Amino acid sequence: MNNYFKLAWRNIWRNRRRTLITIASIFFAMFFAVFMRSYQLGSYTNMINSVVVAYSGHLQIQDNKYFKNQTINNSLLFTDDLRSKIESIEEIASYDPRIQSGLLASSGLQSKIGIVLGVEPQKADKLTNLSSRIITIHISDEALEKIKKLDIPEKTFLKIKELKGDYYKDEIDLGYELKLSKDVSEKYLPQILEATKFEGEFFKKDDSDVMVAYRLAQYLNLNIGDSIILLGQGYHGASAVGKYKIKAFLKFPGLDFNNSMVYMTLKNSQELFSAYQIADNNIDTTFMVNYIALNTNEKINISGSSEKKIRTVKKEIENIIKDENISVLFWKKTNKELVQQIDSDNISGQMMLAILYIIIGFGIFGTVLMMVAERKREFGVMIAIGMKKYKLAIVVIFEMIFMGLIGVITGAIATAPWIILGYYFPARLKGDMAKAMEQFNIEPIMPMEWFDVYIINQAVIIFVMVAFTMIYPIIKILFMKVIKALKS
């Protein structure tokens, strides 16, 4: 067997040009397959992180009736006992008890349906990084007047003027839109940030103020420090009416969130909705929450390796709580629309990959045809001097395996820098594409998926294709007529 290896290895380098052409076809097959799949899976991970990790949580604890009928009347008793049970599970990285309900948001003559979300500030920030959503930059008329007085290039000022009225979370968010050169950014960006500074502050546990999504605030013509009126129905038909001062504007990846969200402290929301129940001692008050969102230590990825671990945590929570009236729901159940969207897109992506594989397969087969045609006389001579046909076929198989391994490994290595770059510095979409993604509450970026089992899957598929192409030279060798081959 060792002789077969040596002979095969020497054979592939006797004609370097032919070998490199064959390896190149396998290399590009691997490169494009991994590159395409990485972008596809990266977009799914972004979709999940935009909705699940940043909002709904990996798991939710609810009253049994809440999932089918999501009204505040089907809320859950949030007791100290339930809190201690949740905190006893090491795998839970963060959790946030919430009250969520629709109310009419109003200011002056303007009114709009909004979603009020009552949260515990520190827990909500740990769960969804809510504080990073606070807007700190606003391109207002006053800001433009200040910038106009600064000694900045006219071209830069015109770029900023095009963004008039827009809100941004931070200088990175603004930088995506402005795209200033490094020299201009270092020289003028601090002045621009000072002129466009927008005061917003994250609320605290005992705050009576609220944070409002910026598009909702724009519609109601509200600013920081103004008051927003909330009106609707609370727990078991109680009136829910309140007037709250705005402490900050929030900017989310999705259009729906930006058009409707009002965040307040959990205590405020419980009082607004009268969401409490008198305890057995007639003194203590037990508060209600709609659900408790939880994130585990496991990061979600589309390949499915995270799903099993999160389901294990789900089972552990169920075993600890042991209450038939309480449900623990997996993120796929609480985000069915997102799952359906990913599944349908994944099918179309796999079809595109299949087309790519067919094109690549014919490319590899073409190089093998060329190799067999060029070596027909060589094969005939080797058989004529006494080499068995099956032994020659084994040598050719090893040649294909070596070229396949070289092509697959170099192709995988060549994609590594692109994956790292695309993962840490994802492409940001603009224009209509960005707006289309925002319609689905997804951040308009195109990241690449980090190294995972999908790379091995592509390598296996490419190798299977190489294995199929081996059939042709094997058949040609086994059924070769030596005299005809020597005359070729």
- Give 405's pLDDT tier (boundaries 50, 70, 90): very high
DSSP 313-370: HHHHHHHHH--TTEEEEEHHHHTHHHHHHHHHHHHHHHHHHHHHHHHHHHHHHHHHHH
Rounded CA separation 75/100 (Å) = 10
Please give the span between the terminal C-alpha atoms of the chain, in angstroms, as a whole number.
30
- The residue-averaged pLDDT of 247-253 equals 91
Q: Please classify residue 470 by burial: count the beta carbons closer than 10 Å to its beta carbon, then call 0-12 exposed, 13-18 middle and 19+ buried.
A: middle
Rounded CA separation 274/254 (Å) = 30
**Residues 135 and 198 sit within 8 Å (Cβ to Cβ):** yes
Give the pLDDT score at 171: 83
Tens-place pLDDT, residues 121-148: 999 999 988 998 999 999 988 888 888 8
Give φ, ψ of 393 to 5 degrees. -65, -40
242: nearest Cα among 340, 371, 131, 104: 104
Give the pLDDT score at 227: 95
- As separate numbers, helices (DSSP H) first and strands (DSSP E) second, the chain gives 19, 16
Residue with the larger pLDDT of the pair 252 and 246: 246
User: Who contacts 208 (Cβ-Cβ below 8 Å, separation ≥6)?
Assistant: 244, 245, 265, 268
Give the pLDDT score at 385: 87
Note whether 195 and 242 are same-domain residues: yes
Note whether 313 and 171 are same-domain residues: yes
Rounded CA separation 463/404 (Å) = 7
Residue with the larger pLDDT of the pair 160 and 280: 160
Q: Taking 90 as the threshold, does the pLDDT of residue 96 lie above it?
A: yes
* Token pair for 21: 């052409």
CA R_g for the chain: 31
Tens-place pLDDT, residues 166-194: 888 888 888 777 777 777 777 888 888 88
- The residue-averaged pLDDT of 139-165 equals 86
* Token pair for 292: 């408790």
Q: Report CA 238 to chain centroid distance, whole Å.
A: 40
* Number of structural domains found in the chain: 2
Note whether 469 and 374 are same-domain residues: yes
Residue with the larger pLDDT of the pair 273 and 277: 273
Note whether 6 and 77 are same-domain residues: no
- The residue-averaged pLDDT of 333-358 equals 85
Phi-psi label, residue 135: left if phi above 0, alpha if psi -120 to 50, beta otherwise: beta
Rounded CA separation 362/360 (Å) = 5
Q: Which region among 89-98, 345-354, 461-470 has the lowest average model confidence (pLDDT)?
A: 345-354
CB hemisphere CA count around 181 (13 angstroms): 5
Give φ, ψ of 263 to 5 degrees. -100, 135
Give the pLDDT score at 209: 94
Give the pLDDT score at 328: 94
160: nearest Cα among 176, 142, 173, 147: 147
Q: Which residues pair with 98 in a beta bridge?
A: 291
- Give 242's pLDDT tier (boundaries 50, 70, 90): very high
**Residues 365 and 359 sit within 8 Å (Cβ to Cβ):** no
- The residue-averaged pLDDT of 402-428 equals 91
Pairing of strands 92-107, 110-119: antiparallel
Q: Report CA 372 to chain centroid distance, whole Å.
A: 46
Note whether 227 and 374 are same-domain residues: no
Q: Which region among 54-68, 229-243, 304-318, 456-470 has the lowest average model confidence (pLDDT)?
A: 304-318
Here the contacts of 16-20 (C-beta below 8 Å, separation 24 or greater) are: 18/370, 18/371, 18/374, 19/403
User: Who contacts 351 (Cβ-Cβ below 8 Å, separation ≥6)?
Assistant: none
Give the pLDDT score at 265: 94
Note whether 39 and 70 are same-domain residues: no
Q: Which residues pair with 262 in a beta bridge?
A: 116, 212
Pairing of strands 285-289, 210-213: unpaired
Q: Taking 80 as the threshold, does the pLDDT of residue 488 lie above it?
A: no
Note whether 343 and 307 are same-domain residues: no
Amino acid found at 173: D
**Residues 59 and 327 sit within 8 Å (Cβ to Cβ):** no
Rounded CA separation 394/156 (Å) = 67
Give the pLDDT score at 124: 93
Give the pLDDT score at 364: 83
Q: Taking 90 as the threshold, does the pLDDT of residue 245 lie above it?
A: yes
Which structural domain, as residue segments, surrounds residue 154? 57-331
Last residue of a domain, one of 308, 331, 354: 331
Give φ, ψ of 386 to 5 degrees. 120, 0
Last residue of a domain, one of 331, 365, 384: 331
Note whether 261 and 363 are same-domain residues: no
Mean pLDDT, the chain, integer: 87
Note whether 179 and 271 are same-domain residues: yes
Query: Which range among 50-59, 94-103, 306-315 has the greatest average pLDDT?
Result: 94-103
359: nearest Cα among 25, 41, 21, 24: 25
Note whether 33 and 91 are same-domain residues: no
Last residue of a domain, one of 266, 297, 331: 331
Residues of the chain with pLDDT > 70, as a percent, come to 95
The predicted model scores a pTM of: 0.79
Give the pLDDT score at 99: 94
* Token pair for 62: 């609810």
**Residues 379 and 392 sit within 8 Å (Cβ to Cβ):** yes
Note whether 277 and 389 are same-domain residues: no
Note whether 378 and 482 are same-domain residues: yes
